[in-house]
Amino acid sequence: MAARVVPNGEDSTSPGPRRVPAWAWAGAVVGVGIVVALIAGAEWRTPIERGLAVVRAAGPGWYFLAMAVVPLPLAWFTVPAGEAFAAQLTLGGVVAAALASVAVQQALSYWAARAWLRPAVERWVRRRGQQVPSVTPENALGIALIVRLTPGPPMILGSCVLALAGVPFGPYLVVSWLVALPWVCAGVMLGRGLFAGNAALVASGLGLIIAAAIAARLIRRRQRRGPP
Nearest residue to 54 (alpha-carbon basis) of 34, 78, 83: 83
Q: Which whole number is the average pLDDT over 125-149? A: 82
Q: How far apart are CA 24 and CA 216, in angstroms?
A: 13
Q: How far apart are CA 119 and CA 131, in angstroms?
A: 15
Amino acid at 62: W
Between 3 and 120, name the one with better pLDDT.
120
What mean pLDDT is reported for the chain?
A: 80
Q: How far apart are CA 67 and CA 119, in angstroms?
A: 25
Q: Which of 17-26, 77-86, 107-116, 175-184 bottoms out in mean pLDDT, i.e. has the lowest?
A: 17-26
Q: Is the four-CA dihedral 23, 25, 26, 27 of positive or negative sign?
A: positive
Cβ proximity of 98 and 67 under 8 Å: yes
CB atoms within 10 A of CB 36: 10
pLDDT of residue 78: 94
List the alpha helices (DSSP H) in 60-198.
Answer: 60-69, 74-89, 91-111, 118-127, 140-149, 155-165, 169-196
- Whether residue 200 is predicted with pLDDT greater than 80 in this model: the reply is yes
pLDDT computed for residue 160 by the predictor: 86
pLDDT bracket for residue 24 (50, 70, 90): low
Angle between helices 169-196 and 74-89 (to 10 degrees): 70
Alpha-carbon torsion, ordered 63, 67, 73, 77, to 10 deg: 30
Q: What does the pLDDT read at residue 101?
A: 97
Determine the longest span between alpha carbons in the chain, in angstroms. 56
The pTM of the whole model exceeds 0.85: no
How far separated are the first and last CA of the chain, in Å rounded?
11
The segment with the largest mean pLDDT, out of 12-21, 62-71, 216-225, is 62-71
